[in-house]
Structure 1
Amino acid sequence: MVAPRLRFDGWIAGLGTSSGTRIVLGRWQRSPFGRFSDVMLERADGERFLLAPTPETAGFISGTYTFDAVRVTPVDVRVADGTWTVAAGPLDLRFTTGRRGPLGLLSCAVPGFLTRRPAWSALTDRPAGVLLPGVRTRGSAGAGRREWYGARDLRPVSAASAAWEGQDLGELAPVEPPVRFGFGSVPARPAVTRVTTTVELGPA
């Protein structure tokens, strides 16, 4: 029997701050849960948080990845002229994207139908890890699930400011050490990636 697969189309932003906090934002324009955004955050001490807008999305994400704390809270994301503004419970985040580099231009050249195919993600897993250490495009997740990521665009994050519970998190910095929510991390250099994520559910 073929396990059901769920598809998410949207953007993943990954960035670090000089305080040691690393932030991963998902902005999903098409998903089994409709449009929504979520935040995964790892503090310098290693504590991992999930901020998700509904119990349903929080349950699915926390069943796929690993967190120390989960908070259900509105996650509001607004994008205008390359500037992203995020309000998510204790987190206030604002960042700006820059022009595409060579990897971004290469990603844009990949036909959309390929990025939706797990076989393509499996083929790109090793090259992605060489070009962007720590990045994986396929792997195993929680609850016996499997995942595939197909990138369609990549833009650098050029500036950012963030606060957690009103405390400034410092200046923009690389995502180092890599985040530990799942089998792979986002690129070390802060970036926003347009991506199609396929999740194959495990046994009921």
Structure 2
Amino acid sequence: MLSHGPEPAGRTPSPGRSPRFDGWIAGIGTASGTRVVLGHWARSPFGPFSDVMVEGADGWRLLLAPSRETADFVAGTYVFDEVRVVPVRVRITGRHWTVSAPPLDLRFSTGRRNLTGLALRAVPGRLATRPGWIALWDRPARLLLGARTHGSARDGRHQWYGARDLHPVVSATVRHEGESLGALVPVEPPVRFGSGSTPRSPCVVRVTTRVAVEQGRSTTTGAAS
């Protein structure tokens, strides 16, 4: 079981370094039209932290992050209409996830690794982190999963998404201010936080991302592991 709440403040990456983020990304759709993307980072330059991106049926994009430092970093890469700094807590017990990020509460369960997950796990870690390999799989990922593996982001950053493991989300309950947002459905239409998206089918992907931070310009490269 893992449990992470807000991380200590004041741990901003230094320019010229290549900070590393290790964790998970989950994408979930609801019958109300709201889509939720959870980033759960066990290791990062900010310490362990989680953030939640929400897009409503009306297109309003909200970021919930546990500190001003993490909020600024995420909002510097993706596009939001509103950013809130709130406690974001994630608890994992086996295949069951519980997420609290006021005003949002999320519970979901994952299933056994499917054929896609098995195929992704067969890719050696060093190969999966290479931008050339990730770029090679951009078109197949768009056709098969409805998600891109790389693309331009804000502030001159370029993001690379590799994938080495995937578990389907088989059940989910999402509440906003205590009200249910409806049954679990595919993540459609795609979220509009940036060039990347999540797979069409609700799932959890384990991710390792490196971010090269330079003065006046940043480039993001990443891979799921």
Tell me the C-alpha RMSD between the 2 structures. 1.4
1:124-163 per-residue CA deviation (whole Å, 9 max, x = no partner) reads: 2122112112x11111111111111121110100000010
The within-5 A match list for 1:113-192 is 113-133=126-146, 135-192=147-204
CA contact (8 A) 1:107 1:151 kept: yes
Percent of aligned positions with the same letter in both sequences?
63
Deviation digits for residues 148-193 of structure 1, max 9, x if unmatched?
1121110100000010111111110110100000102101110001
TM-aligned CA deviation for residue 34 of structure 1: 1.6
CA contact (8 A) 1:147 1:197 kept: no
After TM superposition, the score normalised by the length of structure 1 is: 0.93
> What is the aligned partner in structure 1 of residue 116 from structure 2?
103
1:12 paired residue number: 25
The corresponding residue for 2:37 is 24
* Bigger Cα displacement from structure 2, 155-164 vs 143-152: 143-152
- Select the residue among 36, 47, 54 that pairs with 1:34: 47
TM-score (norm 2): 0.85
Establish whether residue 195 from structure 1 lines up as the match of residue 216 from structure 2.
Answer: no
The Cα shift of 1:116 comes to 2.5
Amino acid at match of 1:45: D
For 1:176 and 1:20, how far apart are their aligned partners in 2?
8
Does the CA-based 8 Å contact 1:147-1:200 persist in structure 2?
Answer: no
The aligned residue for residue 63 of structure 1 is 76
My pick for the range that moved more, 124-133 or 48-57, is 124-133
Q: Determine the C-alpha separation between the residues in 1 that align with 2:170 and 2:118.
A: 17
**Could you tell me which of 85, 98, 117 is aligned with 1:72?**
85
Partner SS, residue 26 of structure 1: strand
CA distance in 2, matches of 1:56, 1:130: 36
1-structure distance, mates of 2:64, 2:170: 24
Other structure's SS at 2:120 match: helix
Q: Structure 2 regions of 5+ residues with no counterpart?
A: 1-15, 217-225
| Bigger shift: residues 62-71 or 121-130 | 121-130
After the TM superposition, list the runs of 4 or more consecutive aligned residues in structure 1 that deviate by more than 6 angstroms.
none
